[in-house]
Amino acid sequence: MKKVSLFLTAAVMIAAMGCGGGKKADANGVYIGQPLSEFISIFEKQYKVVKGVISLEGDDYPAYDVFENDELLFQVELHPDRLETAHRIWIYSPQIKTQKGIGVGSTYGELKSKYNIAWVSEEGGLNVWVEGLSALFRMTGEFPEDFDWSWLDKESMPKNLTVQEIMLASDDVMVTTNKRIVVLNAVETTDARY
């Protein structure tokens, strides 16, 4: 069986695939574009926040790691041109879930049963995008030896693949201090990739 566990290319994104929710001012958490000082002041009350780096394709970028005890919950990558601003949020802990209960460790079958799959991609890893949530779900797992990679699509993906990590890179979603990924603003469904 072929093992799929590839590293991250963050160049491909869906800019906005959301549905209704609250406002940033109503939530207690971190979101894309948030000033670094605001994020730190919110999370350091409840979690250990440590300055660090995130390695993407051989390069290191400034980030802040958020821990609960010794478990890395998520990283906040800083914007490369505006180091005082949250750029992307990388979720590693199975404790953090979407409003529909999907998180690290969930299977592709569970993800597909809760969300409409917009598309899958092999660019930089095995990535799944869903409608209604601006998030990339990085998948890992075993594929049958006879799997036809030329036909990789949302229907052919093995249902037992698991979510390895989740990347948020749009300002319409937030990670709250109570470990939820929430949709913040109503946006039109688009397929703008960048």
pLDDT score for 129: 92
pTM for the whole thing?
0.79
**192 domain-assigned:** no
For residue 189, tell me if it sits in a domain. no
Domain that holds residue 104: 2-183
- How many CB atoms are closer than 10 A to CB 25? 6
More confident residue, 63 or 133: 63
| Alpha-carbon torsion, ordered 83, 55, 4, 141, to 10 deg | -70
Banded pLDDT at 184 (limits 50, 70, 90): low
Range in 108-117, 131-140, 170-179 with the lowest mean pLDDT: 170-179
Rounded distance between C-alpha atoms, residue 168 and residue 189, angstroms: 16
| Mean pLDDT, rounded, for 159-174 | 88
How is residue 27 annotated by DSSP? S
Local confidence band at 125 (pLDDT 50, 70, 90 cut-offs): confident
**Cα→Cα distances 153→5, 59, 178, 179, Å:** 17, 30, 34, 30
Q: Provide the H-helix boundaries in 26-151.
A: 36-43, 108-114
The tokens for 187 are 């946006």
Q: Is 193 contained in some domain?
A: no
| Domains of the chain: total | 1
Where do runs of H (alpha helix) occur along 32-173?
A: 36-43, 108-114
Per the model's pLDDT, the better-predicted residue between 79 and 62 turns out to be 62
Residue 17 belongs to domain with CATH number: 2.60.460.10
Q: Check pLDDT > 60 for residue 140.
A: yes
Task: Check pLDDT > 80 for residue 23.
Answer: no
- Domain assignment present for 78: yes
Percentage of the chain exceeding pLDDT 70:
80
Residue 51 inside a domain? The answer is: yes
Of residues 101 and 152, more confidently modeled: 101
Structure tokens at 59: 């390069």
